[in-house]
């Protein structure tokens, strides 16, 4: 640990003590989030637009940031104190909307509109000297919405990217491979991997090696979602399906999606239709999920090690996701986690000491937060928030795991809970309402002796439905309410 980091750690400690000294926060008090997770602002120098679209750490613990204006900056002092201005070196410019960054094997990888590129500083002056085209097999129509995201690298060294579908005019003509997940081999060969994507603003390889992506609600995408990406998948949007008739696609044509079916029923028409891991109910969780990252801090970021954090551009927030594999399908629950960032949270990356760096922009779409762009970081204050850490599916209900012991009496009272379930339609309209809603009753509750877990027996669970759980009556041992008394479990598979 260098001096700076030591200093930071000390400050984090002091901050935590100060935070703890504050008055207890109520359910609606935004400070309840701040009590455990502090947002640290590092303004950029005047005149620099820092519309962060990619984040990656260099081996020397400097933070590299790609921007939507095609620049790549190196932040010399990413661990600067709150309010201290970032010192930025411009590594590159003139790139065409790079929307992700990856440091690999001495190169900086990014995907531009028209190519996967890698960049290198040969002479050590922190300025790019070489840009190599790794793959430009796809073409560009000239539509603004044809963003590309990634790359992320898998165990075999393949680069994963996701491509947005266009909206409106395509001045250079319609092109293939829009709304796709693509793999690029180390040799630059493009492998079409999954189709039916809409606006896949985040892609990440999980710690166990699987790829996941986030998609934004719209036509043929009833609700924003996190989905597991496997070769051969169809994720619901028909825009890019003509490419699935090309020989580069190693699988059968998925079939044309039925317009208006309930999501769980689509698989009857299209066997390769992939239901999501998690739906993010519209506006309740966010409106535009983007970058994500798994917490592998081993507890240095608080009690959520192993879980996934997802940025939401519109809500300028970070959401939390618990995942489990049920009958071979990755699924789980999402929870509100931290709001109040200064702009749309597009990219997330871990700092050297388990700080969560959030790269932001809201240009063109708007967001909560009063800034157009920038970089902030989120630090755990050391205070353990009272949260539902996990919501696991059980054959006859759900198991809740809490971060701190609960008040047993309240936890055993069915009136402390409320659950409803609903699903979405797959259709051409923009977004789907929550349909087939049903209120579920809690039949019985078993709370573990240590007060850290509660098993809820619930009748009428439905596969392919979001199970929205509210826990208004739950209190911790110390009588605190939950920081976020809500969880949304997307039940695709039910354990047998």
What residues make contact with another protein under the rule CB under 8 A? 49, 68-70, 93-97, 112-115, 117, 127-133, 136, 139-145, 171-172, 363-365
Compare residues 141 and 313 and give the one whose CB is closer to another protein: 141
Compare residues 70 and 255 and give the one whose CB is closer to another protein: 70
Single out the residue of 123, 133, 178, 140 nearest to residue 159, CA to CA: 133
Beta carbon of residue 251, minimum distance to another protein (angstroms, whole number): 26
Compare residues 139 and 410 and give the one whose CB is closer to another protein: 139
Beta carbon of residue 140, minimum distance to another protein (angstroms, whole number): 4
Single out the residue of 470, 486, 339, 376 nearest to residue 31, CA to CA: 339
Beta carbon of residue 141, minimum distance to another protein (angstroms, whole number): 7
Beta carbon of residue 371, minimum distance to another protein (angstroms, whole number): 16
The Cα–Cα gap between 17 and 152 comes to: 38
The Cα–Cα gap between 1 and 13 comes to: 16
Compare residues 110 and 318 and give the one whose CB is closer to another protein: 110
Beta carbon of residue 365, minimum distance to another protein (angstroms, whole number): 8
The Cα–Cα gap between 157 and 155 comes to: 5
Which residue is associated with the tokens 């983007």? 290
Compare residues 69 and 368 and give the one whose CB is closer to another protein: 69
Which CA distances in Å does 271 have to 181, 228, 252, 264? 18, 16, 11, 11
Tally Cβ neighbours within 10 Å of residue 459.
10
Contact criterion met (CB below 8 Å) for 405 and 449:
no
The Cα–Cα gap between 387 and 486 comes to: 9
* Phi/psi at 135 (5° precision): -160, 130
Strands 159-163 and 148-153 turn out to be: antiparallel
Compare residues 243 and 416 and give the one whose CB is closer to another protein: 243
Beta carbon of residue 350, minimum distance to another protein (angstroms, whole number): 29
The Cα–Cα gap between 410 and 56 comes to: 45
Compare residues 49 and 448 and give the one whose CB is closer to another protein: 49
């Amino acid at each position: 640990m260098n001096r700076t980091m030591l200093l930071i750690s000390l400050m984090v400690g002091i901050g935590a003590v100060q935070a703890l000294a504050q008055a207890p926060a109520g359910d609606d008090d935004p400070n309840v989030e701040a009590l455990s997770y502090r947002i640290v602002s590092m303004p950029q120098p005047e005149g620099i637009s820092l519309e962060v679209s990619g984040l990656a750490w260099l081996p020397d613990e400097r933070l590299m940031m790609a921007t939507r204006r095609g620049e790549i900056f190196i932040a010399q002092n990413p661990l600067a104190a709150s309010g201290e201005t970032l010192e930025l070196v411009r590594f590159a410019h003139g790139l065409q909307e790079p929307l992700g960054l990856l440091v690999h094997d001495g190169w900086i990888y990014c995907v531009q509109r028209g190519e996967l590129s890698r960049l290198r500083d040969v002479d050590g002056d922190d300025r790019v000297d070489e840009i190599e085209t790794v793959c430009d097999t796809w073409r560009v129509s000239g539509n603004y919405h044809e963003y590309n995201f990634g790359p992320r690298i898998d165990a075999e060294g393949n680069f994963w990217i996701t491509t947005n579908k266009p909206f409106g005019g395509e001045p250079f003509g319609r092109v293939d491979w829009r709304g796709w997940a693509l793999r690029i081999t180390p040799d630059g060969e493009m492998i079409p991997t999954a189709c039916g994507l809409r606006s896949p603003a985040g892609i990440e390889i999980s710690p166990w090696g699987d790829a996941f992506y986030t998609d934004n609600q719209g036509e043929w995408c009833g609700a924003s979602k996190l989905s597991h990406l496997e070769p051969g998948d169809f994720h619901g949007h028909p825009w890019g399906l003509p490419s699935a008739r090309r020989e580069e696609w190693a699988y059968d044509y998925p079939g044309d999606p039925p317009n208006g079916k309930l999501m769980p029923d689509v698989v009857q028409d299209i066997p390769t239709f992939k239901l999501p891991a998690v739906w993010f109910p519209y506006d309740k969780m966010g409106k535009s999920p983007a970058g994500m990252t798994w917490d592998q801090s081993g507890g240095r970021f608080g009690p959520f090690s192993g879980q996934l954090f997802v940025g939401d551009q519109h809500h300028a927030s970070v959401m939390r996701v618990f995942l489990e594999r049920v009958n071979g399908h990755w699924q789980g629950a999402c929870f509100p986690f931290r709001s109040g960032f200064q702009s749309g949270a597009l990219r997330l990356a871990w700092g050297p000491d388990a700080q969560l760096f959030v790269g932001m922009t809201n240009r063109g779409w708007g967001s909560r937060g009063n800034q157009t762009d920038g970089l902030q970081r989120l630090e755990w204050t050391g205070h353990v928030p009272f949260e539902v850490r996990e919501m696991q599916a059980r054959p006859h209900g759900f198991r809740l795991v809490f971060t701190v012991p609960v008040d047993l009496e309240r936890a055993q009272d069915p009136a402390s809970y409320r659950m409803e379930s609903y699903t979405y339609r797959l259709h051409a309209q923009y977004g789907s309402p929550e349909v087939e809603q049903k209120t579920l009753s809690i039949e019985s509750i078993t709370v573990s002796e240590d007060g850290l877990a509660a098993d809820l027996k619930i009748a009428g669970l439905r596969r392919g439905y979001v199970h929205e759980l509210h826990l208004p009556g739950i209190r911790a041992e110390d009588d605190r309410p939950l920081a976020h008394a809500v969880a949304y479990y997307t039940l695709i598979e039910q354990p047998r």
